[in-house]
Amino acid sequence: MEKIKLCCAKCGFTVEEYVADELAADSRKLKRYKYLKNKSSICPSCLASGRLNELRAIEEAVVGGAAQPDAKSSAAPVGHAEYAAGETPMMDALAGREWPSHTTELKQTGYPVQMYEQALQQRRTQWGYGGYVSLPGVASGVLVRSSARPDITKGSNFLRIMDPCGNFFSADAMRKLCDIADKYAYGLLHLLSTGGDLEMLGIPTENLKPAVEEITALGFDIGSTGDDYRTSEECIGPAKCDLALYDTLGFRYAWYRRFLDDVQYPRFPHKIKSKFAGCPNDCVRGCQKADIFVCGVFRDSPRIDQPKVAEWVEGGGNITLICSRCPGRALHWEPGRGLSIDADSCMHCMYCSNKISGVRPGVDRGVSILVGGKLRGKYGPTLSKVLVPFLKAEPPDYKEVFDCIERVTEIYDEHARKKERMGDFLLRIGMDEFYKLTGITPTPHLVSQPRTNLFCHWDAEEVRPSHKESPCPESEYRR
């Protein structure tokens, strides 16, 4: 029997495989075969784009009733190791050292270890981008990672579990989640992901429904998949850090109480990631990754405890270096008089608070709302842009902040294109238009520095002379 394989020219991954007799009998398969052969295709393994190589082989030869595979055609694709199923030499090499190895623990779970072995051999992951699996009772769906090696495993479903604020799991709840993972999945949990959730990995499709039922019975919600509010992430805030400028834990709890429906029921043009940082240090990387980023800020000058500053200097602190590295050049140190801060030059960046134990943020505190951050998208990475420089964050319902967030998302929902992240949407329409749509008045606080290439805007009617006075075209006046 002759088999035809269309393989990636770079890594050898089999994109499609046909039997010659099937192509002759099935016009639809023949049409797809011709399409893939003549068009550029993207390999799901290495994501390389280009024409596919065609490999023909005789898989079975009827000689005395035994199959005689062709040695040349049965060789492993380029880049694939020729080890028998179950052999994991590279994982074993990692486990055979004097230090503990995660590969030893991985083999004790239900994870398909050949996927990891192949990743070590080829120096790239064998998992590709995924999609969504429909599940009754879970409107946002369940995420699935596609496999670049369907000969090892077809894919991997995993659930995103909304964790408590601050990730304070009780020991009893964590044990029960581990039991569910052992019962229905690989026995692996991805704790504290960058999306601010807990992920249960490797659940077969037939086990999804009972797994969800047992997880929700523990009091946890399932969601954060699809075109909805993704699971929000907050810094540890006042639970540990004395630099937090608002209660990030209480803010996230109130956020879920108001927006839980939009977390579980997709309705937006694309996903919306939200992150909450207690101060401009931004330990959750909200400026880089969040479509909506709420950052704690203060408006008055930092507070200075002169005795503590003096003690810090006497203990070896290089106060001169800290003053020279202040972005606003607002710090001034005079022996005998202490540390002073120029309020007009202070950028409220927290640099001095991070370095000097005797300097702490001011007391006029609130939050800034930034929008449009992302690492991927149509136009590549973008940093968040300040939309509202200061709002008071008033517990317990934080109504003013949440009303602003809701107004922003409604405008995005109404005007953005399908599968257009908020950062791409802002780049397409511009911040001026976005301010008009949201009804938010821009302020000078949004300007970091004046333009170096100054220019003026004017209407043609304001400067256009009469035809008798000047024959010059209008373009000459707009230079």
What CATH code is carried by the domain that includes residue 350?
3.30.70.20
Residues 247 and 136 in one domain: no
Residue 248 in contact with residue 296, Cβ under 8 Å?
yes
pLDDT confidence tier of residue 462, bands split at 50, 70 and 90: low
How confident is residue 74, by pLDDT bands cut at 50, 70 and 90? very low
Would 426 be classed as within a structural domain? yes
Is the pLDDT at 71 greater than 70? The verdict is no
Residue 108, domain member (yes or no): no
Closest by Cα among 256, 233, 197 to 373: 233
Residues 382 and 314 placed together within one structural domain of the fold: no
Query: In this structure, are residues 362 and 297 in contact, taking their beta carbons and an 8 Å threshold?
Result: no
Q: How far apart are the first and last CA of the chain?
A: 74
**Structure confidence by residue, pLDDT tens digits, 105-139:** 899 899 999 999 999 988 888 887 777 776 777 77
CATH number at residue 435: 3.30.413.10
The answer, as to whether pTM is greater than 0.85, is no
Residue 456, pLDDT > 90, answer no
* Same domain, residue pair 252 and 346: no
Over range 456-460, report the average pLDDT.
Answer: 62
Residue 35 has pLDDT above 70, yes or no: no
**Which of 283, 137, 277 is CA-nearest to residue 210?**
137
Same-domain check for residues 279 and 374: yes
Q: What is the CATH number of the domain that holds 166?
A: 3.30.70.2500
Q: CB under 8 Å to 184, separation ≥6 — which residues?
A: 203, 204, 207, 210, 211, 214
What is the model's pLDDT at position 78? 35
Interior angle at CA 171, CA 169 and CA 172, nearest 5? 105
Q: How far apart are alpha carbons 282 and 348 in whole angstroms?
A: 13
- The pLDDT, as a whole number, for residue 247 is 96
Q: Which pLDDT score is estimated for 445?
A: 75
Nearest to 402 by CA among 196, 255, 250, 227: 255
pLDDT at 472 (0 to 100): 46
Token readout for 325 is 């590295």
**Number of neighbours of residue 12 by Cβ within 10 angstroms:** 19
318 and 285 together in one domain: no
Number of domains in the chain: 4
In a domain, 472, yes or no: no
Q: Which residues are paired to 296 by β-bridges?
A: 367
pLDDT of residue 68: 39
For residue 75, the model assigns a pLDDT of 35
248 and 349 together in one domain = no
Phi first, then psi, for residue 197 (nearest 5°) are -140, 180
- Identify whether 476 is part of a domain: no
Mean pLDDT of 283-296: 94
Which pLDDT score is estimated for 409? 94
Residues 293, 408 share a domain: yes
Decide which of 217, 241, 271 is a domain's last residue: 217
User: pLDDT averaged over the chain?
Assistant: 83
pLDDT of residue 196: 80
Q: What is the pLDDT of residue 385?
A: 92
277 and 369 co-located in one domain = yes
- Same domain for 345 and 419: no
- Non-local (6+) Cβ contacts of 22 within 8 A are 29
How much of the chain, in percent, has pLDDT values that exceed 70? Answer: 83
- Examine residue 225 and state whether it is found in any structural domain, yes or no: no
- Asked, for residue 170, whether it belongs to a domain, the answer is yes
Confidence of residue 315 (pLDDT cuts 50, 70, 90): very high
Structure confidence at residue 263 (pLDDT): 86
Which domain covers residue 256, as residue numbers? 233-299+364-446
- ∠ CA 357-363-368, nearest 5°, is 100
More confident residue, 210 or 59: 210
Q: Looking at residue 158, what is its pLDDT?
A: 87
Looking at the predicted structure, is the pLDDT value of residue 65 above 50? no
The answer to whether 193 and 273 have CB atoms below 8 angstroms apart is no
3-state secondary structure of 16: strand
Q: Are residues 351 and 417 in the same domain?
A: no
Q: In the structure encoding, which two tokens stand for residue 99, read together?
A: 């230090």
User: Residue 131 CB: number of other CB atoms within 10 A?
Assistant: 12
Q: Pick from 360, 380, 398: which residue ends a domain?
A: 360
Buried b (16+ CB within 10 A) or exposed e, 440-468: bebeeeeeeeeeeeeeeeeeeeeeeeeee
pLDDT at 478: 41
pLDDT at 395 over 90: yes
Structure-block tokens of residue 145:
């990672």
Do residues 277 and 392 share a domain?
yes
What is the mean predicted confidence (pLDDT) over 309-324?
94
* 7: pLDDT strictly greater than 90: no
pLDDT digits (tens, 9 = 90+) for 166-187: 888 999 999 999 999 999 999 9
Is residue 385, in this structure, part of any structural domain at all? yes
Say whether both 293 and 384 belong to one domain.
yes
Q: Does residue 120 sit within a domain?
A: no
